[in-house]
A and B are shown apart, each in its own frame.
Chain A
Amino acid sequence: MDDGRISRHGSGAKLWLAGGWLLLALLAAIFAPLVAPQDPLAQDLMLERLPPFWMSGAEPGYWLGTDSLGRDLLSRLIFGARIAFIVAFAAATAACLVGSTLGLVAGYFGGWADRIISRIVDVWMAFPPVLFAILLVAVLGTGLSSVIIAIAVIDWTRFCRVIRAETMGQSRMDYVENARIAGYGRIGIMLREVLPNVVPSIVALLSLEMGIAVIVEAILSFVNLSISTDDPTWGGIIAEGRLSIHQAWWVLVFPLITLILTVLSFSQFGEGLKARFDPVLR
């Protein structure tokens, strides 16, 4: 029992730290116009490449400095969070719905359903994901919805594989057999008996997938295939920062830190939630 207690405390701290950062970022994204100190698009060549607040030459009101066009970095990061979170929630939810449903069906019914779904997953995963995303966005055209669709289309397989395996494990348990003896229908058993036992995994994966969606969106922005270049995105800011790394390192470093913290938080948050949700681990 001791091990359980230790891991539980560990997961508690993880959950709170990760959740705290995500909540902060989410609130900043929602109330971006209120909390951003400057207009993220306002250029001012008199204020170009201002350093962050603790360095000499910093200007008050430009906490993290400015980029080569004199735009406030902090404000751009805050507005970039909006796009990051929209993409994270929408794409991950779509991928989760499609993948988990197919995974549940394949794992529970087995036989032909499983064979067909598993082959599709195998073929799907043979494509290199980032190349696939770039290809999809190139075909669909740039824009927020294209990015979301591309991520969902690529990453549903992640849910499908994990949920299929979990469902197969659960379906072999005696309680499923008991339900069959009692006379429940197959679909009823799948939804009422099996599904609640795979929900913790779905939740953990969903959170992980949100982090992945943030990265993919950043990658697409980085290669200029996300949304219009006017709107600040984390990937876009990183791409710009790369060009001025020798004159203004902060334009590259701060969005990178933001991105890493967010992605890490999503995955840790998912792990923590899984531990919370699982009645046996709890």
Chain B
Amino acid sequence: MGEINTKFVEHEYDYVKPASLDEALDILAEKKEKAKIYAGGTDLLVHLKMGKGGDMEVMLDINGIDELFGVTKSEDSVRIGGAEKIWVLETNPVINELYPALAKAMSLMASVSVRNMASIAGNFCNASPVADTVGPCMCYCGKVELKSKERGVRYVDATEFFVGPGRTVIEPDEILTAIILPIPKENTGDSFTKISRVRPDIAKISLTCVVTRDGDKVDTCRIAMGTVAPTPKYFDEISEALNGKKMTKELIADTADALEAAIKPRKKSRSSTPEYKKAMTHLMAIENLEAAWKASGGELA
């Protein structure tokens, strides 16, 4: 392998910028994995510079397709255009009102310039185990909308979207057109925290918690974490074990114990040891469960 020079892109390819989704899907149907989608470029261009362009022949710029942008609220859900920029979303009033953990996760990503460029679909499709937007979308029961020329539209639960590091269920002829989040029930609270080496760094570890309260009991609870598995991970059994139970400090401590025991971090991962990640998981679980419960209007005995 030659020396990496990040000043230029040496990989050669054609560039196209279709004005409609149909046109873009036609190109993908023909070129399949030889076309790579350019939304914000903050991952794609880095991959190209690092010599990881593979057999890419076409850069498909989707920034000319209006329907991939914007935040639209309907009766039962909110639709987030896939190509929409992170900074637009983190400052969007609907997202801040209904999904504050998602807004917080986005505002803590990278640097302002990266967030001005990067898209939410890119954060999903790059499929890093770290991906900060994913945990909140999983906990809010989000769905990923995928479109292709051959098969039309399909919806995949955010929890089912990831297959492995850098790998998702998305087919080479599909575009991630939107993230769909159901509108949370009343008395729902959320919390997100992450730990990184310095502020603009990607997370060493992140945790999201969304709780819906029924009086002094948990109606539903969802917990997801980043960087503790090969993909962002939703903890279905541990989360759902809380459903219907009275919320207490003991229940929170038991849940933190269960999460700490459940995670299986790699031995060498971003310079954090498994011991560190387990200790942090315990603390972050308590912190976020308490915060989400309080945000839902609940009190802790």
A binds B: no
